[in-house]
Structure 1
Amino acid sequence: MRIFWAILLVSGVGFATNTALADEVQVAVASNFSKPLEAIAEKFKVTSGHELKISAGATGKLYAQIENGAPFEVFISADSKTPKKLVETKMAEADTQFTYAFGKLVLWSSTEGYVDDKGEVLRKGDFKHLAIANPKTAPYGEAGMAVMEKLGLTAAITPKLVTGENITQTYDFVSTGNAELGFVALSQVQKDGKLKGGSAWIVPADMYQPMAQDAVLLSNAKDSAAAKALLEFLKGEEAQAIISSYGYEIPTPPRRDAKSCVSTDSAKPC
């Protein structure tokens, strides 16, 4: 795989290195956060002059690409454990990992009135297909499976599942009507506190593990001023306003990974 990435670079296809374009940051981002990041990229360019080259996908698949030599510089994940794994294997810088948002899961249908505000549509089961992101590679898919287990509906609904490669494909299944409903990210269906269409049940947070979404600087970019500037920008007011507008909960201040943060002030924990 490392040879494959090298061929892409030599042929001019795909990614560019930080050396070649110091003002362009190669970003691997979880699919649920691709739209907010596009909006953030515009503000970041105005502020810093740097541009982002964004590659979106399932968190697990992006991790595999990084492991196999993909020249990303910043990883914006849909969880905290995957960036931590990169830190543990020396592929990311420990003191740069922080939580930029907490994701929220929603059961959504593109049809008005189809999903009730308590999710009873799941118990009724009068649907043919329910879309979900691959729980092995996508944290939102893992959360969706946890909800079904919590409701005692796993056995009944599993035969009806349509699995998306990532949360974007899962959303597409529902938006095109190939699945009547599905578990997606709130950020995909809400903007400025309003549902963009269809009907939805925002799943209570106690029905799945908290989805702390972390960002981290990858080790091959440890000397990149542009990459470091992006991570700092993510913590700032402009970026946080955008993130919040898409329905994410914002940690205040952005939460650093426990192992890479030491505080001597009990009143100001990391």
Structure 2
Amino acid sequence: MKGFHLMTVRVSLYLIGLIGLMMSSMTVQAEDGTLAVANNFYGPIQMLVDDFAKVSGYQLSVSTGSSGQLYAQIINGAPFDLFFAADTARPEKLVNQGLGFEQFVYARGVLVLWSKEANYDVKEHMLLGDYNHFAIADPKLAPYGLAAQQALRKMGLWESMTPKIVMGKGLNPTYQFLSTGNAQLGMVAKSQVFKNGQYIGGSVWEVPVSDYEAIEQAAVTLKSGIDKAAIDAFLEYYSSERAQKIVSSFGYLQ
């Protein structure tokens, strides 16, 4: 019985130590944060989060989707700390609903017409209707999809193109239509096909910014992110020249 009692004590001490380790891990995790990021900004945010970890030691996780999808998740209680939308409307709604705080414009987006084919006159093929499918993001969910719709209407093409248009729920699915060849042409964010200051492949035409409403993208701190050290540190980091160079390298306007 004495041996059994000793074993029980050892097991109890082990469990206490294990619980202590778990609590320590939870404390470290509490200093971290979770970002909800619109599809178009997913590439830049990955680079920013990695660089931020190097200079701060904080580890941030990222969830991505269309602005509409992420907004719906937030109002339904998703535990995000900071929301990077592709518009200003949804962050403003969150502020008005008492769910968001400290809204600010973090980038201005650019819409491009793109094909995975090299040396391809994308504008000419669009004007001639020389394609089977044309991809855009759903205008109801994604601001870049709305911008594409506005541009096509201004060019007088929307009605004739509608039967050939395929819509992604966000920019990532839209890009997949194009990269797999299921759509020959489409409109996506410049940041999806532009990295380190240059286009990374395919053929592109930058849609004139006068053809669509300015894509001002706003970020907003959410309830769980208020007074969280990692989020405060990331916001300070984001305003630095170091971070802004990364953002500019993806083709965003300042």
RMSD: 1.3
Q: Does 1:187 align with 2:195?
A: no
Answer 1 or 2: which has greater helix percent: 2
Cross-structure match for 1:97: 103
Q: Does 1:68 align with 2:76?
A: yes
Percent of aligned positions that are identical: 47
**Contact 1:108 1:115 (C-alpha < 8 Å) held by counterparts:** no
| Mapping 1:157-176, distance limit 5 Å | 157-176=161-180
Q: For residues 173-215 of structure 1, what are the alpha-carbon distances to aligned partners after superposition, in whole Å with 9 as ceiling and x for unaligned?
A: 1011010011001001112332111101011111100001111
Q: CA deviation at 1:121?
A: 2.4
TM-score, length basis structure 1: 0.82
Q: Match for 1:40: what amino acid?
A: L
Note the residue ranges of structure 1 that are not aligned, 5 or more in a row. 1-17, 251-270
C-alpha distance in 2 between matches for 1:65 and 1:108:
30
Cross-structure match for 1:196: 200
**Contact 1:27 1:53 (C-alpha < 8 Å) held by counterparts:** yes
Cross-structure match for 1:114: 120
| Mapping 1:43-54, distance limit 5 Å | 43-54=51-62
Q: CA deviation at 1:120?
A: 3.0
C-alpha distance in 2 between matches for 1:22 and 1:172:
35
**Contact 1:215 1:231 (C-alpha < 8 Å) held by counterparts:** no
Stretches of 4+ aligned residues off by more than 4 angstroms: none
Q: Does 1:249 align with 2:253?
A: yes
Aligned residues: 229
| Mapping 1:1-270, distance limit 5 Å | 21-93=29-101, 96-116=102-122, 119-250=123-254
TM-score, length basis structure 2: 0.87
**Contact 2:135 2:174 (C-alpha < 8 Å) held by counterparts:** yes
Work out which of the two has the higher radius of gyration on C-alpha atoms and give 1 or 2.
Answer: 2
Q: CA deviation at 1:231?
A: 1.7
